[in-house]
Structure 1
Amino acid sequence: MPLEHLHAALGELLGDARLAPTALPGSDLSLWLLDPAHMARPFSSDETRRILDTPPYWSFCWASGLAMASFLAEQPHWVQGKRVLDFGAGSGVVAIAAARAGAAEVMACDLDPLALSACRANAALNNVTLSYCDDFFGVPGDFDLVLVADVLYDRENLPLLDAFFERAAEALVADSRVRDFHHPRYTRLARLQGLTLPDLAEPDEFRHVSLYHGRRQ
């Protein structure tokens, strides 16, 4: 079972950590997220080292993912009837929102097998069907749209902005970290609000999410 697998992985990082079903604000979606009650204590040096070595990012709903999920709920025409891939899916919130908005097929793609387990658990929680992959370039066929949220925090990922068009005609990219975003294929489509759950007390600037639309030339 994906949920048992995830709890076991969290237990190796933080012995008492658990996931809890969490309703997302401004949405009818819920996710299995890290229970904040287990974060309200000092971490030992070993726990800190383990978290830094293998951060359980799939146990959070990051601000840009939540913002994009809300955007797709309000403007479902972006995904309706389309074959969509959620790149760097994490918890799967964007993939689940796309499925709810009427996409013909949604593939959650992530290198981390624990993230794919989280996507499976969260898809079941929200009664949607997803496909899964761990290799963006190895998936057969083309997509109509690539969805990307909370990936550009690592600037080494910026070359992927061009690579997305090798697999899809369009891309939607949500980001709250890069302030000097300039790319000839992308234009800012909207400015959105989001927050990370559970709350990491991040600076307010990271709640301001930019949504970019890119098109294959």
Structure 2
Amino acid sequence: MTVAHLQQALSELLGDAQLVVSELPETALKLWLIDAENMDRAFTAEETRRILHEPPYWSFCWASGLAMARYLAQQPHWVEGKRVLDFGAGSGVAAIAAAKAGALEVVACDLDPLAIDACRANATLNGVELQYSLDFFEEADRFDLILVADVLYDRANLPLLDEFLSRGREALVADSRVRDFQHPIYRRLEMLEAFTLPDLAEPMEFRNVSLYHAQRA
């Protein structure tokens, strides 16, 4: 039912768009993503307007999300036995990776109900159990770790960096967009390489994902 609902929503935006199960490279994960095979065409003006007004970002696996998922699989100690919240979860890729890596509890949080539906569908697809939230600020300060992937694409979201530790003891932020990232409590751990699925032919610079860490004093 959830996948059918997502497909209907996607079809209302792009009549010929299809959701297909896509395996994520260098991971054991798979997601329901938009099928690039039948979207190799120019969008009409009306389609462009609809996409810009209500982008189906939950139907993509963005580079930062893929990088975060790979990182957690390689470094499970970040989430093992911990309570984790994935902020701006989108497709749920980071939340699912955390659950696969042994997190005690994972909450996928996104303000878009369609994204929450995508997280549910993708959790089922990967055989994991998640909790769900539409409002980060209604959550209690009870999390060990806040995961944030590809949320800083809009610079208006930068003030959120000050809020993540209000609900969790630590935060991991993956971002490929902000080149002048400066914040007194966040330090860069390393640079990761990834790309968006389906491939949007983004500039190479957006395939370089920085991973930042902050910890409550």
Letter in 2 for 1:134: L
**Structure 1 partner of 2:54:** 54
Q: Deviations over 1:105-156 (max 9, x none)?
A: 0000000000000000000000000000000011245100000000011111
Give me the CA root mean square deviation. 0.7
Q: Deviations over 1:27-65 (max 9, x none)?
A: 110000000023211211111110111110000000000
CA distance in structure 2 between the partners assigned to 1:63 and 1:28 by the alignment = 16
Q: 1:40-79 to 2 correspondence within 5 Å? A: 40-79=40-79
Residue 207 (structure 1) aligned with residue 211 (structure 2)? no
| SS of corresponding position for 1:84 | strand
Q: Deviations over 1:155-191 (max 9, x none)?
A: 1111111101111110000000000001110100111
- Give the TM-score, by structure 1 length: 0.99
**Structure 2 partner of 1:167:** 167
| SS of corresponding position for 1:159 | helix
| Structure 2 unaligned spans of 5+ | none
| SS of corresponding position for 2:46 | helix
**Structure 2 partner of 1:156:** 156
**Structure 2 partner of 1:180:** 180
Work out the percentage of aligned pairs sharing the same amino acid: 69
| Structure 1 unaligned spans of 5+ | none
**Structure 1 partner of 2:35:** 35
CA distance in structure 2 between the partners assigned to 1:168 and 1:176 by the alignment = 23
| SS of corresponding position for 1:66 | helix
Residue 195 (structure 1) aligned with residue 198 (structure 2)? no
- Give the TM-score, by structure 2 length: 0.99
**Structure 1 partner of 2:116:** 116
- Which deviates further from its counterpart, 155-164 or 55-64? 155-164
| Contact persistence 2:146–2:170 (CA under 8 A) | yes
Letter in 1 for 2:125: L
Letter in 2 for 1:185: I
**Structure 1 partner of 2:134:** 134
Letter in 1 for 2:77: H
| Contact persistence 2:141–2:168 (CA under 8 A) | no
CA distance in structure 2 between the partners assigned to 1:208 and 1:140 by the alignment = 33
**Structure 1 partner of 2:102:** 102
Shift of 1:197: 0.2
CA distance in structure 2 between the partners assigned to 1:99 and 1:60 by the alignment = 20
| Structure 1 outlier segments of 4+, above 4 Å | none
CA distance in structure 2 between the partners assigned to 1:163 and 1:48 by the alignment = 33
Letter in 2 for 1:146: I
Shift of 1:5: 0.8
